[in-house]
Structure 1
Amino acid sequence: MLAAMSTAPRPSSSQATAVSRDAGDACPGALRLHEADDGALARVRIPGGVLTVEQAVTLGEAARRLGDGELHLTSRGNVQLRGLRAGCGAELAELLGAAGLLPSPAHERVRNVVASPLSGLDGRGARDVRPWLTDLDAALCASTAAVALSGRFLFALDDGRGDVAALGADVTVRATDGDGALLSLGAARESLRVSGADAPRAAVLAAEVFLDVARARGARVWRIDELDVPAGELTVAVARGLTRSGIGCARVERDTAEERHTPRERDTAEERDTVEAAGPPPGQAGSALCVHVPFGRLTAAQWREVTRAAAGFRSGGLRLTPWRGLVVPAPDAGPGRTADVLARLSAAGLVTDAGSPWPRVGACTGRPGCARSRADVRADATRALATAGRAPLPVYWSGCERRCGHPRGDRIDVVAEPGGGYRLTTAVRGQDPRGTSLDDPSGFAAALAAILP
């Protein structure tokens, strides 16, 4: 059986493939809309996935009034609004600004921050990272230099459990015992140990140093691992920058073992060989209710049900996860009440059963929303859902070779081919890919058997 997560070491920065981004970063935002086949698209950054009920209501209203009524969750815990009517940009900006979703228009595309979604809710992790999240977002919006970051640059705040530390962020801050933190840059083999109090500011300074180094080298890059520098050079430059700013730090060897397995995978030894984490499993986790959203697509009715559920608890908010899921903090809920809320969310079409195959199956937008797609991949993925859910690896369906939104880590790629049908390929770190063709989703089980040992 293929192992779900490889134990191969992460590449050092000197092993990164040199990239030159000659074209500008066209990543969409809330103020820079993208024209798709189904209308304009807006991507609203939600740092850490944290929303108040009022902000959630505003997003639902914007989708209903200006777009197709649906909300689409991204692999970074952000929200996309699709099918937006022409000329609605100013009205959208006014709605989002009034709700506090655009604290700095100049920084709106660079506020890409993922955070451990169950932090402070299930008794795990070394610390609650929500104060870090508030401080990092404020420091980011206050940084004039940070405006130059690409809309693809990513920060991750991990509470020590290793979930978002495994997402390949450009700057990762991971909590450690004793009120400390480890600051990591891309796939570099070394981390910088800093105090917890300094961690958010250190993360922003690290991004600024990256921009300085790239500019000095004349490198047109968007992500840290695209920067072709000798191993450790960027880490040293960041350490110097932190010291100049009065932040104490120490270089330490990076421990990547913990990043290979998330809490769900570490629960039992058996799961380590068969499961790649898809975020918090559906159901109740500590004082939180977790649901998975198939394909990250929420209808207006589903979004209303989620916001209604969040409004019913004392915390008064919700969190979006990088695995296209939702977490509703429920600190004041008894067993009967949580069961009732989960039942209502399930009745709305959201996944609340931890045994569901949905968290292990994903797909890009596909037809008809994307002009590049060669197939209606979501319909085909749904047809093959039962078989794919039993696969030893997550399965991701793509309408073309770009594989937009595919999960990080080992998986089975199902890519639509130019002449029709699909190509199944294993993507397992440290192993040669194995592939086969699939003419029709009804034959998915046979195709799967052909590529798995």
Structure 2
Amino acid sequence: MLAAMPDSAPSPLSVGGASSRAGGDACPGTLRLHRADDGALARVRLPGGVLSADQADALLAAAERFGDGDLHLTSRGNVQLRGLGTECGGALADLLTDAGLLPSAAHERARNIVASPLAGLDGSPSLAAWLTELDHLVCASPATAALSGRFLFALDGGHGDVDALGADVTVIAEGRSDALLRIGAADEVFRIPAAEAPRAALRAAEAFLRAASDSGAWRVKDLPDDVRTELVRAIGSVAGPSEHRTRPRTAKAPGPAGPFGSTAALSVDVPLGRLTAAQWRLLTDTARRHGGELRLTPWRGVVIPFGGGRAEAADALRTLSEAGLITAPDSPWTGVGACIGRPGCAKSLSDVRAEAGAAVGAPGRLPVYWSGCERRCGHPHGEWIDVVAAPDGHRISHVRGERRDARTTVRNDPARLAAAVAEARAL
């Protein structure tokens, strides 16, 4: 087991530092940046995607002071800062620490926790206590400092939304008193008391690290089949009774609109996950007037708990729409995603963001994700249309879980490409 780093003030960041794992864990953080063609990149982990308005101000200050001025949302409800200069050194870490966004230098890349963004707002149980306790437990465990930047916890409010994301450890609320614990993509779940859910999730992660010690696996799905089976069996021996519950095939976003349920909330999506400074300020100011909380979603959107009435919510959505955010399901940008592409990424074969914009039309039944290379960074889960740039054009395929339909290749013809993508999304 790897020893934890001292839980002390963050040290100055480095770019592309070595990892103790074979092959190297290249996931960026805030203490170790990733070098990209548009400058260095920092990834700020936000458990559950939850931010206070003051913390949102701090992130914007970091983006404007050190980076390109924009906030880039990820498929795990985190924020990336791009265009950073390596000279920002410890100043970025100090800023984030002062804002409460970097509670542990040793665990900053291990704090990957997604949560149902509407939990507690639509009549379902609140996940706030789970989020707070799990993040505290992860940061307090010397063992979990060895988790890779890819390992993922998911807290599902009973919606099935983040249960479908394929996390390594998932906890699902079952009413107010019970919870289900899932390991990886296993259909077998274990019933546990809701009050014990965060500690059960921590124990499962620590058990994974013991199971992965020989293979060097970064995630549960990377374990050899027999080791993964034994891991589930070992966790089951100390957890509650087991039952069968198939993981949902499609991870569903809350969708742009509002208000929801008994407590009003606004939900907006962000075109290609990139927020300008003006858009970020507008969202932050809206949140500050209504309780001061923002929730970034794993679908590159933002949910704001909203204390106003329906008329006030409609006015707020209108203002957000005028600012370029997605506030209605019939927006041409609904369901459209893309990696950073050229010129930000040297591995990308094309400017997929520009291509995605040129192909935008009527919203389709299925989401579409454009990737500049076969790595497909940030791609969605469940069922979606996969568009990948290739040396001979673009390859389009229909993905359903682990299954991929036969690919169609469209050579360099923007009109034909747009038509082919629209046809695929309408399936």
TM score, norm. by length of structure 1: 0.85
**Which residue in 1 is equivalent to 2:29?**
29
Call closer, same or farther: CA 1:32–1:431 in 2, change over 3 Å.
closer
Residues 283 and 354, structure 1, Cα contact 8 Å, conserved in 2: no
1:361 Cα deviation (Å)?
A: 1.1
Residues 283 and 353, structure 1, Cα contact 8 Å, conserved in 2: no
- Whether 1:329 aligns to 2:305 is yes
**Which residue in 1 is equivalent to 2:224?**
228
Q: Match for 2:368 among 377, 381, 395? A: 395
Q: Match for 1:444 among 400, 414, 417? A: 417
Call closer, same or farther: CA 1:203–1:285 in 2, change over 3 Å.
same
Q: Alpha carbon RMSD of aligned pairs, Å?
A: 1.8
* Higher RCO (Cα < 8 Å, 6 or more apart): 1
Could you list the structure 1 runs, at least 4 aligned residues long, displaced by more than 4 angstroms after superposition.
429-432, 448-453
Q: Structure 2 stretches of 5 or more lacking a match?
A: 1-20
Call closer, same or farther: CA 1:330–1:178 in 2, change over 3 Å.
closer
Call closer, same or farther: CA 1:104–1:357 in 2, change over 3 Å.
same
**Which residue in 1 is equivalent to 2:10?**
none
Call closer, same or farther: CA 1:163–1:146 in 2, change over 3 Å.
same
**Which residue in 2 is equivalent to 1:147?**
145
Call closer, same or farther: CA 1:145–1:121 in 2, change over 3 Å.
same
- Whether 1:384 aligns to 2:359 is yes
Measure the CA separation in 2 of the matches of 1:178 and 1:79: 31
| AA partner of residue 119 (structure 2) | S
After superposition, the C-alpha distances for 1:376-424 in whole angstroms (9 at most, x for unaligned) are: 101111111105x23x3211111111111110112111111114x2111
Greater shift, 341-350 or 31-40, is seen at 341-350
- Whether 1:252 aligns to 2:243 is yes
Residues 42 and 80, structure 1, Cα contact 8 Å, conserved in 2: yes
Question: Aligned ranges for residues 103-142 of structure 1 at < 5 Å?
Answer: 103-123=103-123, 125=124, 127-142=125-140
1:261 Cα deviation (Å)?
A: 5.5
Residues 423 and 435, structure 1, Cα contact 8 Å, conserved in 2: yes
**Which residue in 2 is equivalent to 1:281?**
256
1:432 Cα deviation (Å)?
A: 5.7
Call closer, same or farther: CA 1:430–1:295 in 2, change over 3 Å.
closer
**Which residue in 1 is equivalent to 2:205?**
207
| AA partner of residue 291 (structure 1) | V
Residues 69 and 299, structure 1, Cα contact 8 Å, conserved in 2: yes
1:291 Cα deviation (Å)?
A: 0.4
1:152 Cα deviation (Å)?
A: 0.3
Q: Match for 1:291 among 262, 268, 281? A: 268
Residues 25 and 151, structure 1, Cα contact 8 Å, conserved in 2: yes
Q: Match for 1:416 among 371, 389, 408? A: 389
Residues 250 and 383, structure 2, Cα contact 8 Å, conserved in 1: no
Q: Match for 1:366 among 312, 337, 341? A: 341
Call closer, same or farther: CA 1:443–1:176 in 2, change over 3 Å.
same
| AA partner of residue 337 (structure 1) | E
1:213 Cα deviation (Å)?
A: 1.4
After superposition, the C-alpha distances for 1:6-65 in whole angstroms (9 at most, x for unaligned) are: xxxxxxxxxxxxxxx731211100111111000010000000000001000000000001
1:89 Cα deviation (Å)?
A: 2.5
Secondary structure of 1:174's match? strand
Residues 22 and 220, structure 1, Cα contact 8 Å, conserved in 2: yes
**Which residue in 2 is equivalent to 1:357?**
332
Residues 278 and 360, structure 1, Cα contact 8 Å, conserved in 2: no
Q: Structure 1 stretches of 5 or more lacking a match?
A: 1-20, 263-276
**Which residue in 1 is equivalent to 2:77?**
77
Measure the CA separation in 2 of the matches of 1:150 and 1:183: 21
| AA partner of residue 322 (structure 2) | A
Q: Match for 1:166 among 140, 152, 164? A: 164
| AA partner of residue 326 (structure 1) | V
Measure the CA separation in 1 of the matches of 2:127 and 2:423: 44
**Which residue in 2 is equivalent to 1:267?**
none
1:284 Cα deviation (Å)?
A: 2.9
After superposition, the C-alpha distances for 1:65-87 in whole angstroms (9 at most, x for unaligned) are: 11110000000000000001221
- Whether 1:308 aligns to 2:285 is yes
Residues 358 and 418, structure 2, Cα contact 8 Å, conserved in 1: no
Measure the CA separation in 2 of the matches of 1:450 and 1:357: 14
Call closer, same or farther: CA 1:348–1:84 in 2, change over 3 Å.
same
Call closer, same or farther: CA 1:29–1:430 in 2, change over 3 Å.
closer
Call closer, same or farther: CA 1:430–1:351 in 2, change over 3 Å.
closer
Secondary structure of 2:334's match? helix
Residues 381 and 441, structure 1, Cα contact 8 Å, conserved in 2: no
Measure the CA separation in 1 of the matches of 2:422 and 2:346: 32
